[in-house]
A and B are shown apart, each in its own frame.
Chain A
Amino acid sequence: MSEHELTEDLLSAYLDDELAASERAEVEARLAASTEWQAILDEVRATRGALRGLPAVDGPPEFWARVIAGDPVPDATGRAASDQVIDLGAERRRRRMPRWAVAAAGAAAAAVIVVGVVAVPQRDRVRPAVAVLSNEHAARSSVGNDVISSLASIAVPTKLGR
């Protein structure tokens, strides 16, 4: 996507037919090129269908009367909910991590990556040359041993595959 990265929210909007024509075209192009995102789209669609399939539950008969009258409404445990108004924005800011902590966490993550890439020995894929190693062994084995019987195995073509 040129302006918007494909996200599950965008897919949800796509399913709700809430996208502009250009955005819709971009999403469809992205879906056509990626089986992975097609699978995610199917998951989002299935989740939405499951939620919508849940049965509707009516509130107790006095619920709406109490709401209209401004009475405290009991919650699921039967206790009356507080009439204190919560400032959601302030609460979100309170819970948000301080900037210095975010910076420290980022630096720590970068350090871990650097250590992982630079300090830890890299382990390459190795294909041991078994025929050569076999000859190396036979050559060393022939020293101080019966020479001809040891060297004979080198002089024979190595046959590994069957």
Chain B
Amino acid sequence: MRPAGARRARPATVGRVVLIAAVVGAALLVVGTEAMAGDDPAALLRKAREASATVNVAGTVEVRWVDGDEVFVERVGARSRGDAYVVGRGDHLAVGRGGARYTADDGVATRWGSGDEVQVPSPSAAWDLQLDDPARVVGRAALVVTASDPAGRVRARFFVDRATHLLLRRDVFDRSGDLARSVRFVRLSTGDAAPAVPQLPDARSDVAATNDIPGSFAAPERLGKFRLLGRYQHPDGTVQLFYGDGLFSLSVFEQNGLVDWGAMPDGGTRGSVEGNRARTYSTSAGTIVVWGEQGLVITGVSDAPADTVQGVLPALASDDRSTVDEVVDFVFGPFGWE
């Protein structure tokens, strides 16, 4: 027969052991999850995308980009609460809630109401992702992921907040390793300190997702490492093809007609795409390439490094088109002076 005290002590001991095991297990789970995300750069970038939709933010974002010899720097206010976002103000405003977007720029208002979210490819397929030494951004500890091209050149660097996994900074580099474009927080507070986002305008979509692309438009499933993620029809007949490689995105806008080079904005650099006259612009959004080909005016827009964009766009030229269009181009091509 055991002493009464011993009988009373046994449940308490078991309880303590269970409690300690639970605490240690939970701690290991948290540490394990952190370690997994920390060790796997692709997983860390995925968590950063998810954090963008869950972490409340109030701060200032600096956008820096290079155009030729000139460096442009602009700062805009940014805040989010839940899945609602407001960036900028006045005519230069971008608002979002869920999958809807409202923009007003240079007096032209556009709306994006397609809340479709597609499976984004793994960035590891196109880029060599590595964890770099930790850094500090806007006073916060950050994990750093580098993306290198097949030649081993670092082409992008992502700074992810260790505490919230929010993307704090994103740098894109040219072939020489010089900074081409950067977006980063220069002032930031997170959590409940973020103010509420005002009521959004009624976002009615003017752009419709479609699977019915006319035969005269080129719509390859792949452009290099970029995979076709969406096809959209704009009210003016413009077709937008949206591609992604898991790290960067690329839109190809196609319109029937010939490029009116005389009416194009000044600036940019002259070049060619598959032997067709082209002009390339560098903006805060990324690289814009305009050219005409086979009776189409094509505009490519991407946040990827410029040479990556210029390297994949020629694949549009080899895409199959209808026989009628080929005949029309053969007969009337010589008269399409540009």
Contacts and interface: CB of A to CB of B under 8 A. Distances in A.
Contact of B285 (A127, A138, A147): A138
A65 to B, nearest CB: 60
Nearest to B67: A162
B78 to A, nearest CB: 5
A124 B105 contact: no
Nearest to B111: A139
Q: How large is the interface on A (under 10, 10 to 19, 20 to 34, 35 or more residues)?
A: 35 or more
Given A121-B328, A140-B242, 14 more contacts: A132-B105, A132-B108, A137-B249, A140-B251, A143-B114, A146-B170, A148-B61, A152-B87, A154-B105, A155-B93, A155-B94, A159-B72, A160-B283, A162-B67
A42 interface: no
B263 interface: yes
A84 interface: no
Interface string B258-292: 11100111111000000000000101111010100
Contacts of A161: 265-267
Given A135-B103, A158-B283, A143 B251 contact: no
Given A135-B103, A143-B115, A155 B92 contact: yes
B329 to A, nearest CB: 10
Interface of A: 120-121, 123-162
Nearest to B264: A127
Contact of B267 (A135, A137, A156, A162): A162
A5 B336 CA distance: 32
A143 B116 contact: yes
Interface residues of B, number: 80
A136 B207 contact: yes
Contact of B101 (A139, A157, A159): A139
B276 to A, nearest CB: 14
Contact of B103 (A121, A127, A129, A154): A154
Count chain B CB atoms within 10 A of each CB in A130, A136, A141, A147 and give the residue with the most: A136
B283 A134 contact: yes
Contact of B265 (A138, A145, A160): A160
A123 B112 contact: no
